[in-house]
Structures are given as structure tokens and as C-alpha cells.
Structure 1
Amino acid sequence: MINFKLDSEYIHLIQLLKAVNVVENGGEAQAVVSEGLVTCNGEIELRKRYKVRKGDVITFLEYKIVIQ
């Protein structure tokens, strides 16, 4: 599990995936979101610009990212 401390109101989903190093670059982040490999709070999220906020739980492959 990865705990991510959010210092602002939100972070875009693709930025989060890059920030916690579960993808190598922005292109890969966009691809995994487009392919439906990322879930937000248990539901598949296809929007790359989805605004992730405190309390959200993001999963991708074996990674679980908790936003604090």
C-alpha cells in the first residue's frame, strides 16, 4: 500500500500515477487509464484528468494508493 499525502485540493489521476512511480512516464499513465486498468474507489476510471481527492483509494495492478 502506498500512502500519498495530498497538499492541495486535488491531483489529476495521471499526475498521481507518475508521482508515486507506478508508471515510468505520462504516456504510460494515459495508456493504463485508457485501457481501464485503474480503479478509483472500486470503480474503473477512464478519465485521465479525474480529480483525485483526500480519502480516495486508487488501485492499479498490485498497487493500492490511499490519498491522505
Structure 2
Amino acid sequence: MKETAIYGDYIQLDQFLKKMDYISSGGETGAFLENHTITLNGNRVHEKRKKIRKGDILSIDGEEFRMTGE
């Protein structure tokens, strides 16, 4: 599991995907969600702008990220 720092109260899923180089623009988010398995704290995510907060665990195709503070 990788620890990833977020700044502020949350980061949106589309912003996180861009930050981690999964996508190059926000317009690619919908297609990425359709073609990959993404869960937040064990629940499947379908929302492009889902808010991810400190302490959350995001999984993208089995690769897990734990969100930490600044």
C-alpha cells in the first residue's frame, strides 16, 4: 500500500487520477472509470468527482493508496 499526501480537506477522484498520471486530462475520467476497478474504502466508485479524504483507502485495479495529511 502506498501512502499519498493530500493537501486541504479532500482531493477529487479526477484530480487524484491526474496527479498519479493515470489520465492526462479530466475528460478521460469517465472512460477510465468504465475500464478499471476503483474502490474507496471497499465500495465501488462511479462518480468522477468523488471526494477522497485523509485516512481513506483508494484501490485502482488492486493497487492501494492510503491518503495522509499534509
- TM-score, scaled relative to structure 1: 0.80
Deviates more, 1:20-29 or 1:38-47: 20-29
Q: Which residue number in structure 1 is paired with residue 21 of structure 2?
A: 21
Q: Which has the higher strand share?
A: 2
Query: Is 1:44 matched with 2:44?
Result: yes
Identify the residue that residue 56 of structure 1 maps to in structure 2: 56
Number of corresponding residues: 67
Please identify the structure whose Cα radius of gyration is greater: 2
User: Aligned to 2:65, what secondary structure does the other structure show?
Assistant: strand
Q: Distance in 2 between matches of 1:2 and 1:30?
A: 24
Q: Distance in 2 between matches of 1:52 and 1:46?
A: 13
Q: Is the 8 A contact 1:23 1:29 kept in 2?
A: yes
* Contiguous gaps of at least 5 residues in structure 2: none
Normalising by structure 2, report the TM-score. Answer: 0.78
**Percent of paired sites with the same residue:** 33
Distance 1:26-1:4 versus aligned 2 partners, 3 A rule:
same
